[in-house]
Structure 1
Amino acid sequence: MKIIHVEDHFDPTAGYQINELLYASKNFDDEVYLITSDDMSPFHKSVDLSLDKKFEKETGIKIVRLKSLFKLSARLILKNLTKTIQKINPDAVFMHGIADFKDLILLKQKQDFKIVRDCHMSWVAAKNKFRKPFYLFYKLTFANIINKTDKYNKIYALGNEELEYLHKIGIKDKKIDFLPHGFNDNIMYYDEKSRHKIRKKFNLKNNVVISYIGKLNESKRPDLIIDIINELDKKFINVYNISLLFIGPKDKNYMNLFNEKLNTLNFELKYRIEDSKPFQELRKYFSASDILIFPKQTTLSSIHAQVCGCPVIMENYKSNQERVINNDNLYPKDDFKKASEILKKIILNKEYIKDDNIENKFILSDREYKNQIKKLYKDLK
């Protein structure tokens, strides 16, 4: 089968759903393409064709980057998208995301190939002030076409909040199925050897390491971890030798705020700020960490962290309730006092001990991407 994935933005070193699906697809005998843009602004970097080539070699897929004709928020119109698809002549096209410019294909005649979409939009990420009139517009136009025709074979919700979003924009249940966020078990797993190596390198051998691994930007606000830490007392910090580790791409404007917040730490404690690492290397840093805190929104990294044996602390949203194994580790929005109590509880009860969290991988096994690829390809045939 010849399959095309279409994604507005793509970073070959990242660990998003698209990356993991493409890695998982190499286990199947299909010809796979990715059509994407040359816009790397969401990742705070520029296109590096050598990294594209490396990704192609590792996965066996072909990456095609197109110029964008128009950009609204993070949504793009890709130049010559339809012509590029027709030239490849696929059996199926997986257009990632929903309620974007790719929906314009619905205004054309039914294509000779199957089309599926997915929805990544959770309420915590839906911030546009025009969203309510947009929902109504979409429901009366594109959703009508989707529900009454087979131009889209299926739309996958990545979770229950995404399902609610699809309902809000007018998509009926008969067109919806689930393909949840997940992990690739030959990329993400507890790596004991790397844990010891990295902790030795960073001189964190006997520390309780609290980490944030992800984008350092205004949306994710990792600086709020400082507010959580400041709720603890100095004796507790010293007794458990607590240290902080931040890893990820940095937004230059946001880093001013981040560095100012670091200066407000109530204690002297060890911290490190590392540049982003290739996705294939991240398991080593999750494995080296004891506890992960993601203070804002939701992230696929919460699944990766748990697979590598780390408890995670996050805000209490439906999407996080689905992904976090222990919902007792979720705190009310902006309640950093509660978050610090959760952190203290995890440390006192030694809930971060790797041997006790080894079953996380099996608890989350239905999210493993090779299983999801099997489901996807079955739907496409």
Structure 2
Amino acid sequence: MKIVFVTPYYTEGMGYIGNRLPAKLAELGHEVHLISSTGKVYFTQSFFKNYKNVHEKKHVVEPYKLVEGVHIHRVPHLEFMSTLYLRGLWTMLKRIQPDVVHTWEISSPYVLQIAVAKPFLNYKMFSANHYVLSVFALHRTWHKFSMAKLKWVLLKKYTGKFISMFTDQCFPATNDARFVAVKYMGMPLRKCKVTPLGVDTDLFKPITDEKGRILRNELRKTMGYSENDIVCIYTGRFAADKNPLVLAKAVDKLQKAGNTRYKGLFIGVGEQESEIKDCEGCQIIPFEKYVNLWKYYQASDIGVWPTQESTSMIDAAACGIPIVISNQLYARERVSGNGIDYEFENVDDMSAKLLTLEDASYRQRLGQHGSEKMKTQFSWDRIAEERIADYTYHINKK
């Protein structure tokens, strides 16, 4: 099967689905292509500069590269109201002659290009939605008129409704992502199949042997942690919408109350960096590509994401540590049986909930349940096999 993924930007080793799903499909023996602009991940965003240890430049010069069996193609682009039009996309698709074209958005100029080309190039078209309610701010003010709402309705909802006529199936990542896709992006409910974002369980897995335990202890020692410390890890952007400062303040509160075993480990970059550094018991490691994070999850005791959903949650869970998330998140399947929630952005409650995880045997029980669940329900291997079944069904459908 010839499969083409189209994405507005791409960086090797950065970004989960853009790197892992194509590679897993290639492992299954399919011819997989990924078409992107010349831009790297976040290149249109103001915070791109925060990732200078990963991105030396905004753009990639080489037009083609083979990465993990996936053919990566770069095409020129035009920016349009924070979205991209990919020049030469039609020509590239015509040359490849794919059976399937898959995007990770429902409505965007380049997705419209794919929809318009479909009747002429005769492929099946698939999309996805990773917008969840915790990130979709307009959901909270939708009942009011605003220019932001008008812009969304015109450029996303109505355009999405048109594009959906050409879309064979859409894969929202969670139940609330499906709600967003239907209500705010014009995708018919009957075309939606909830499919979670996955985890590479070959990379993210619990420690099962003595070598792993030795490596864990060595890394903890390097970072200044003792065997008895309870390390609470957060990975991602240090931004107000992610608000890792809640965890830092909670650790600071515990430290000052005499619970000095609790430590905060933050891996990433962003505007809250200086405030996090000022909190007792907290340290920062610069942004790392996701492929390097497994060792830090294995060296930690609790994973914490204070506000929004993050794929890092399931990576941490796959490594066998319990996770703490906000009580406002809708994707409960990520924490059910393998973690707890706390009252949204309440530092006191965060501190109290971390204390409930003080017992190592309790953390181990939660972590074991999480790693088993991630392997059986969230692995990219399983998702890739299911995705091929979905593609095949629609290709054979009369």
Stretch moving more, 17-26 or 290-299: 17-26
Q: Deviations over 1:67-116 (max 9, x none)?
A: 3201433x222222222222222111111111222332334562411110
Partner of 1:62: 71
Residue 245 of structure 1, CA deviation: 1.4
Structure 2 CA distance, aligned partners of 1:334 and 1:135?
28
Residue 166 of structure 1, CA deviation: 1.5
Partner of 1:166: 181
Partner-residue secondary structure (3-state), 1:346: coil
Structure 2 CA distance, aligned partners of 1:328 and 1:304?
14
Partner of 1:91: 99
Identify which of 330, 343, 346 aligns with 2:354. Answer: 343
Identify which of 171, 176, 179 aligns with 2:192. Answer: 176
Partner of 1:124: 134
Q: Deviations over 1:147-186 (max 9, x none)?
A: xx4x211111111111101220332222111221121211
Q: Rate the CA distance shift 1:327–1:190 in 2: closer, same or farther, 3 A.
A: closer
Residue 261 of structure 1, CA deviation: 4.5
Letter in 2 for 1:323: R
Letter in 1 for 2:265: L
2:394 maps to 1:358: no
Q: Deviations over 1:101-140 (max 9, x none)?
A: 2332334562411110011111221235655435644555
2:25 maps to 1:14: no
Partner-residue secondary structure (3-state), 2:102: strand
Structure 2 CA distance, aligned partners of 1:303 and 1:62?
27
Partner of 2:307: 296
Q: Rate the CA distance shift 1:56–1:285 in 2: closer, same or farther, 3 A.
A: farther
Corresponding residue pairs, total: 363
Residue 284 of structure 1, CA deviation: 0.8
**Gaps spanning 5+ residues in structure 2: where?**
139-145, 393-398
> Is the Cα contact below 8 Å between 1:210 and 1:245 reproduced in 2?
yes
Letter in 1 for 2:251: I
Structure 2 CA distance, aligned partners of 1:208 and 1:84?
52
> Is the Cα contact below 8 Å between 1:12 and 1:51 reproduced in 2?
no
Letter in 1 for 2:382: N
Partner-residue secondary structure (3-state), 1:224: helix
> Is the Cα contact below 8 Å between 1:314 and 1:320 reproduced in 2?
no
Q: Deviations over 1:217-267 (max 9, x none)?
A: 3432322322222443634422xx22221112x24xx1xx4213432x3x4
Q: Rate the CA distance shift 1:12–1:218 in 2: closer, same or farther, 3 A.
A: farther
Identify which of 380, 384, 392 aligns with 1:369. Answer: 380
Partner-residue secondary structure (3-state), 1:5: strand
> Is the Cα contact below 8 Å between 1:161 and 1:318 reproduced in 2?
no
Partner of 1:133: 150
Letter in 2 for 1:246: F
2:339 maps to 1:321: no
Letter in 2 for 1:143: K
Identify which of 224, 229, 243 aligns with 1:203. Answer: 224
Structure 2 CA distance, aligned partners of 1:97 and 1:195?
38
Over aligned residue pairs, what C-alpha RMSD do you find? 2.8
Partner of 2:37: 37
Partner-residue secondary structure (3-state), 1:118: strand
TM-score by length of 1: 0.85
Q: Deviations over 1:321-359 (max 9, x none)?
A: 231134872123222221111111111465333x76223
Partner of 1:24: 24
Q: Rate the CA distance shift 1:247–1:340 in 2: closer, same or farther, 3 A.
A: same
> Is the Cα contact below 8 Å between 1:160 and 1:318 reproduced in 2?
no
**Gaps spanning 5+ residues in structure 1: where?**
none
TM-score by length of 2: 0.82
Structure 1 CA distance, aligned partners of 2:288 and 2:118?
44
Letter in 1 for 2:191: K
Structure 2 CA distance, aligned partners of 1:51 and 1:280?
23
Partner-residue secondary structure (3-state), 1:162: helix
Structure 1 CA distance, aligned partners of 2:205 and 2:353?
25
Structure 1 CA distance, aligned partners of 2:312 and 2:149?
29
Identify which of 242, 247, 252 aligns with 1:225. Answer: 247
> Is the Cα contact below 8 Å between 2:247 and 2:264 reproduced in 1?
no
Q: Rate the CA distance shift 1:336–1:327 in 2: closer, same or farther, 3 A.
A: farther
Q: Rate the CA distance shift 1:258–1:51 in 2: closer, same or farther, 3 A.
A: farther
Partner-residue secondary structure (3-state), 1:329: strand
> Is the Cα contact below 8 Å between 1:226 and 1:261 reproduced in 2?
yes
Partner of 2:204: 188
Q: Deviations over 1:354-375 (max 9, x none)?
A: x762232222322111111111
Letter in 1 for 2:71: K
Partner of 2:262: 242
